[in-house]
Amino acid sequence: MEDARYKAYLLAKDFTQIEGIDYNEIFYHVVKHTSIRLLLAMVALYDFKLEELDVKAAFLRGELEEQIFVRHPEGFVIQNKKDHVFLLKKSLYGLTHSPRQWYKRFDTHVERGCTKNAFDSCVYHQRLADCSHIYLLFYVDDILIATKTMSNINEAEYIAATKTVKEAIWLKGLVGFVMVEKICVVENPADMMTKHIPEIKLKHCFDLIRINSI
């Protein structure tokens, strides 16, 4: 049995932030449920491969537009500098506008190779040289990828992870992969974006996206 490991990370106290000084806007985009249902239906209909990227420490990748100062964390006060504060260079979990800043960075990089959907700003599409297609759906720190072949997914992973998250770090170190295989229940095949799901919930998902048979 391995020794227990204790981890902690710092959080900003968003309730101390002042609008107009520490942030200007907090609204950020997430993919619409109708877009997710439509993509799942396309996956089932066209036998697309489906994969989810879980971006680690996504909010830390956002670029700050304001100067934000934070106090010493409790228990980690630097001696002889108790009256100093820290200037944040990157976004931090707990900041009111961290999700917005992460989305803006993701959007800036992905739009270089993909086209943003006019009706859902969290849906991106790219047509490749072989006339195949890649679809990217953005939901906070998760990225859903659908395409015809695994080689296309590998290319999309490179775009969505190495360029968006941190260009100089290997893909494996940035994202956790969840492989999604074909699941068949009686006459209803579907590729599900999930880890483990009970059969009763799977049937509910079929009803939700209205997949009866193919």
Q: Count of domains in the chain?
A: 1
Answer positive or negative: Cα dihedral of 14, 52, 62, 69.
Answer: positive
**Cα 50 to Cα 43: distance, rounded to the nearest angstrom:** 7
Q: Give the rounded percent of residues in the chain with a pLDDT score beyond 70.
A: 66
User: How many angstroms separate the most distant Cα atoms in the chain?
Assistant: 70
pLDDT value for 123: 92
Is 168 a member of any domain?
yes
Q: State the pTM of this model.
A: 0.59
Average pLDDT, the chain: 71
Q: Which residues of the chain have pLDDT under 50?
A: 1, 161-195, 208-209, 211-214
Is 155 a member of any domain?
yes
Is 75 a member of any domain?
no
Q: 136-177, pLDDT tens digit by residue?
A: 898 888 888 888 876 655 555 555 544 444 433 333 343 344
| The token pair that represents 9 in the structure block | 């990370």
Residues 6+ positions from 161 with CB-CB distance below 8 Å: 53, 55, 171, 174, 175
The answer to whether 96 and 23 have CB atoms below 8 angstroms apart is: yes
pLDDT value for 188: 41
Is 178 a member of any domain?
yes
